[in-house]
């Protein structure tokens, strides 16, 4: 049985549900997913949904077992505190569940496109599994944020695995901030020297695990029938880092200057948007007043959406509608301007 864990609050609730749905769809082995809920609303909604194979952890229950974690909570931003909790969560699960031999932490914005078994096959009898960012040529400067990505990281219940996990948790409680300082950055930069610091560390080589906006330009992505391939290896999961929802129908796929090709949007992002919408419908069946968190999009960027100049998608069926909406707004605006000019 696979043992996974993740965390999120209401802002990432639909993404967490999409992650779960993708695991249900593609995992050929049974799995269990522990979810740390960072607010009461998330815990309440997930409790009502009663998802099979999901174990809920309230933030109160989680924090009650670690006094030092509570001490630093007030000193950090919300995101920094969440990062601080990254290594503490899998350690907590191993301490609370003696039957779990191998725990894998997943970022909530991952989405699976095929069975993760090849990752475990490559991991073998290793103690720690980490995945590089794999920045393509010309983007190596981004390693200042870390050589390895924390999106997927596995620990076995053995001396090496527990040692690394405990060390990482201690370091994050001591210092975990969204800034660069003395070779540190958040929870991620601590992993840079793990291949020499700890034994039995496996750096995953499978190209279908860890595909993300920061490295997708370095690979050949093709679709054969319904399966996506990354340099002739099956795509296992994609990391939807930086994706923002501006309304119920408008999405900004990436931020930070990354470029996503049109066919990649169609193959990767459109299925993910469908999954997010389905997650929203599931939530509203148990909590009607739930509002999907959105990010404000200035009108200038909305105009660019209509003109296909801004890297935003909302599903191909929406584009003609958006253009018509924009044309109507533009015509109304011109009429108002003319009337004001005529009055003067």
Both 305 and 231 in one domain: the answer is no
Residue 278 lies in a domain: no
Q: Shortest CA distance to 175 belongs to which of 90, 84, 85?
A: 84
Both 313 and 168 in one domain: the answer is no
Residue 309 lies in a domain: yes
Q: Could you tell me the pTM of the whole model?
A: 0.86
- Predicted local confidence at residue 161, as pLDDT: 98
Looking at the structure of the chain, the number of domains it has is 2
Name 89's Cβ contacts closer than 8 Å, sequence gap at least 6.
5, 7, 34, 36, 57, 62, 105
- Predicted local confidence at residue 88, as pLDDT: 98
Both 8 and 90 in one domain: the answer is yes
Both 64 and 169 in one domain: the answer is yes
Buried b (16+ CB within 10 A) or exposed e, 37-74: bbeeebbbbbeebebeebebbbbeebeeebeebeebee
Both 121 and 228 in one domain: the answer is yes
Both 139 and 26 in one domain: the answer is yes
Which one-letter DSSP state was computed for residue 37? E
Of 217, 241, 265, the one marking the end of a domain is: 241
Both 205 and 322 in one domain: the answer is no
Residue 257 lies in a domain: no
Angle 19-6-109 from CA coordinates, rounded to 5°: 40
Tokens 């533009």, residue located: 330
Both 310 and 197 in one domain: the answer is no
- Per residue of the chain (344 residues), what is the pLDDT tens digit? 999 999 999 999 999 999 999 999 999 999 999 999 999 999 999 999 999 999 999 999 999 999 999 999 999 999 999 999 999 999 999 999 999 999 999 999 999 999 999 999 999 999 999 999 999 988 888 899 999 999 999 999 999 999 999 999 999 999 999 999 999 999 999 999 999 999 999 999 999 999 999 999 999 999 998 899 999 999 999 999 988 887 766 788 877 678 889 999 999 999 999 999 999 999 999 998 888 777 665 545 555 554 444 444 444 455 555 555 556 665 555 554 444 434 44
Residue 130 lies in a domain: yes
- Predicted local confidence at residue 337, as pLDDT: 46
Residue 100 lies in a domain: yes
- Predicted local confidence at residue 241, as pLDDT: 93
Counting Cα atoms < 13 Å in the Cβ hemisphere of 309 gives: 6
d(CA 217, CA 253): 15
Residue 261 lies in a domain: no
Both 153 and 49 in one domain: the answer is yes
Residue 260 lies in a domain: no
Pairing between strand 110-112 and 237-239? antiparallel
Give the range of the structural domain holding residue 66, as residue numbers without chain letter: 2-241
Q: What DSSP string runs through 51-108?
A: -TTEEEEEHHHHHTT-HHHHHHHTTS-HHHHHHHHHHHHHHHHHHH-TT--EEEEE-T
Instruction: Specify the CATH number for the domain of residue 8.
Output: 3.90.550.10
């Amino acid at each position: 049985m696979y043992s996974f864990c993740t965390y999120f609050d209401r802002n990432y609730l639909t993404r967490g549900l999409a992650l779960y749905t993708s695991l249900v769809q593609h995992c050929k082995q049974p799995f269990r997913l522990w979810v740390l809920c960072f607010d009461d609303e998330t815990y309440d909604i997930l409790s009502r949904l009663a998802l099979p194979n999901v174990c809920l952890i309230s933030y109160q229950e989680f924090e009650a077992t670690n006094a030092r974690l509570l001490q630093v909570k007030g000193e950090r931003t919300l995101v920094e505190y969440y990062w601080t909790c990254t290594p503490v969560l899998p350690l907590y699960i191993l301490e609370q569940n003696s039957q779990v031999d191998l725990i894998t932490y997943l970022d909530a914005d991952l989405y699976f496109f095929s069975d993760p078994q090849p990752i475990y096959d490559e991991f073998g009898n290793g103690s720690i599994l980490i995945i590089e960012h794999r920045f393509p040529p010309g983007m190596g400067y981004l390693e200042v944020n870390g050589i390895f990505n924390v999106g997927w990281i596995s620990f076995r219940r053995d001396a090496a695995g527990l040692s690394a996990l405990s060390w990482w948790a201690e370091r994050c409680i001591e210092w975990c901030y969204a800034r660069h300082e003395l070779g540190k950055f958040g929870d991620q930069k601590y992993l840079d020297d793990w291949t020499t610091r700890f034994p039995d560390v496996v750096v995953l080589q499978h190209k279908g695990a860890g595909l993300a906006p920061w490295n997708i330009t370095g690979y050949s992505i093709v679709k054969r029938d319904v399966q996506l391939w990354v340099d002739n290896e099956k795509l296992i999961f994609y990391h939807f880092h930086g994706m923002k929802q501006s309304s119920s129908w408008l999405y900004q796929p990436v931020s930070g200057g990354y470029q996503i090709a049109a066919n990649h949007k169609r193959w990767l992002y459109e299925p993910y948007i469908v999954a997010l919408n389905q997650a929203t419908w599931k939530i509203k069946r148990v909590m009607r007043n739930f509002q999907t968190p959105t990010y404000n999009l200035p009108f200038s960027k909305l105009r660019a959406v209509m003109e296909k100049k801004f890297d935003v998608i909302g599903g191909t069926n929406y584009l003609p509608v958006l253009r018509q909406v924009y044309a109507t707004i533009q015509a109304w605006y011109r009429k108002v301007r003319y009337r004001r000019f005529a009055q003067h």
